[in-house]
Chains A and B, each alone.
Chain A
Amino acid sequence: NAGVTQTPKFRILKIGQSMTLQCAQDMNHNYMYWYRQDPGMGLKLIYYSVGAGITDKGEVPNGYNVSRSTTEDFPLRLELAAPSQTSVYFCASSYSSGGGTEQFFGPGTRLTVL
């Protein structure tokens, strides 16, 4: 099993550009999550999904969108990139609710917006 994979690993965007961060898992997990981590800080939940076709906002959803058309994939979309979105983005998955079972994390995407 590859676990949770994320692409790209690094990306530099100009203000106003758009991009999609890809996340995939091959563990047949129902729950998937997107987090951002700013330097010296803990993670903040952006969006999560409890299954295909179902998504919900986390703590910091503004400026982002998600979709969950399959169990495996959970892409994160940035429509109009802003410098405040410079961060490291982590995708995670778990079999059931966020803390009920272990979360597995991808390696992260480091995004810089200039």
Chain B
Amino acid sequence: KQEVTQIPAALSVPEGENLVLNCSFTDSAIYNLQWFRQDPGKGLTSLLLIQSSQREQTSGRLNASLDKSSGRSTLYIAASQPGDSATYLCEVDSNYQLIWGAGTKLIIKP
């Protein structure tokens, strides 16, 4: 059974720093992986989708990588801003199993 883990559970960094969020999964036979952002009391917003054949995707200051062989994905955020404060979740799609990590709560201090 697929299991998805996100470490750390919470992270607080000063504004302007570059940072990396981690997502690991136990079964490498995945179709794709998505990173989402969740703001308090709101729904989720898709940030980046990486297909199983891809190694990375980029959108603005965000870069997500995927290494299926090691069961890892990272979300890199460049030049962090207070507006980046949110919970970031990864979701793994493997044969209609949509399994989510518990998320990393990110706080960017001004």
Contact = CB atoms under 8 A, between A and B. Distances in A.
Contacts of B49: 99, 101-102
B interface secondary structure, majority: strand
B4 A99 contact: no
A105 B44 contact: yes
Contacts of A41: 102
Given A98-B93, A99-B32, A45 B43 contact: no
Contacts of B45: 105
Interface residues of A, number: 27
A52 B98 CA distance: 20
Q: How large is the interface on B (under 10, 10 to 19, 20 to 34, 35 or more residues)?
A: 20 to 34
A106 B38 CA distance: 12
A45 B4 CA distance: 14
Interface in B28-79: 31-34, 41-46, 49, 51
Contacts of B32: 99-100
Nearest to A103: B46
